[in-house]
Amino acid sequence: MGSDFVGTPSEVRVGRLSATCPSCGQSSLFLRAKRRRQRKADSLLCAGCGAEHFYTALLEQVTRRTISDAQSALERARARRKKI
Ligand SMILES: [Zn+2]
């Protein structure tokens, strides 16, 4: 770790959920990649395993989880209604 990283690790967060590294599935902290010259300004490095991911891809992951969370909450609500 060192010159490829810049700033402090941060979460990619949407609402209450934050993205988890797709590579290790453990870390939710990411560092911004320093290489500005490449068109990878939005790429983030996992603070846990060092894998590189696009910010947009991580954002998409959280969004998808938010949607499936909302759907399962809806299903739970429906199931509860049936019991009554
Ligand atoms: Zn990782």
- 32-77, pLDDT tens digit by residue? 877 655 555 688 999 999 999 999 999 999 999 999 999 999 999 9
- Whether the pLDDT of residue 7 is over 80: the answer is no
* pTM of structure: 0.74
Exposed / middle / buried, residue 83 (Cβ in 10 Å: 0-12, 13-18, 19+): exposed
Between the CA of 83 and the centroid of ligand 1 the distance, in Å, is 42
Ligand 1 centre distance from Cα of residue 25 (Å): 6
Report the distance separating Cα 27 and Cα 20, nearest Å. 6
> Which domain range does residue 64 map to?
5-83
What is the whole-number distance in angstroms between the Cα of residue 69 and the centre of ligand 1? 23
Domains: count for the chain: 1
How many Å lie between the centroid of ligand 1 and the Cα of residue 71? 27
